[in-house]
Amino acid sequence: MNPAASDDWEDENAARALLQQHVADIHPAPDLIDRVEAGIRQRRRTRRIVLPVTMVTAAACVVALAFAVERTAAPVTHVAQAAQPVIACPNPLPSGWANAGVPATPPVPGAARALLPGVPKAAVSCSTIDPARATALTAQQLSAAVAALAAAPFNSSTSTTVVIPPCEEPAQLERPLYLIFEYPDGTHLTITANAETACDGYGPVSWYANNGQVHTAAFQSSVLDSLAGSAASTASAASVAAR
């Protein structure tokens, strides 16, 4: 017999004896089956709770994912107009009023937008606004925009740009302010105000149709004054929307 094999055989037998001897006095608790039974019950209870919760969570995740995909894949309306900045408006329009982050540069495709409070959604689709000045200027600029809309010769086939000087401390308006209005029929109005624009109280206002014609009119202080309040702007916006 091979001595090495013989050694292995002895080792194996010794191991068997050792292991058997080692556990000879091990006696499991007599209630093992009761513990197993309790464990099975507990497992069943846990599953009864966890399974529905997991399924509901999974379903919610699927719905949220589908919604996110749909939102991502939703077509973005690019409104390009002659002599106008190109604006990307969300479609459908976001609900509620919130500053959604505003770019430091003039509106570009895909730029973040902020909706302004006080104007019916039907009248305003999207706008970008200088965040630093938004609070101070919103009501007044909005009133002016509404007034311009009310005063402008409205043609649903054209879009109109109205340039309004900032009406208070223009030097503080470091970045151009844009308000983009969209009529229910799809036409747009962009109102621009910037620091370079002369601001002498309530100055003259020009608005530009996108057909290249330039319209200039003197915005009377009294008109703006009368429209400065949010109530007036809302009323005017409502009348614009009604058009």
Q: Which chain residues interact with other proteins by CB under 8 A?
A: 8, 11-12, 14-16, 18-23, 25-30, 32-37, 39-41, 43-44
Smaller CB distance to other proteins: residue 40 or 231?
Answer: 40
Q: How far apart are CA 163 and CA 144, in angstroms?
A: 10
Q: How far apart are CA 239 and CA 122, in angstroms?
A: 11
Smaller CB distance to other proteins: residue 39 or 120?
Answer: 39
Smaller CB distance to other proteins: residue 32 or 73?
Answer: 32
Q: How far is the CB of 12 from other proteins (least distance, A)?
A: 6
Q: How far apart are CA 167 and CA 221, in angstroms?
A: 10
Q: How far is the CB of 15 from other proteins (least distance, A)?
A: 4
Upstream peptide bond of 120 is cis (omega within 30 degrees of 0): no
Q: How far apart are CA 196 and CA 128, in angstroms?
A: 18
Here the tokens at position 75 are 């077509």
Smaller CB distance to other proteins: residue 40 or 217?
Answer: 40
Q: How far is the CB of 59 from other proteins (least distance, A)?
A: 25
**How big is the CA angle at 207 (ends 163 and 142), to the nearest 5 degrees?**
50
Q: How far is the CB of 36 from other proteins (least distance, A)?
A: 5
First to last CA, the chain: 111
Q: How far is the CB of 56 from other proteins (least distance, A)?
A: 23
Smaller CB distance to other proteins: residue 30 or 153?
Answer: 30
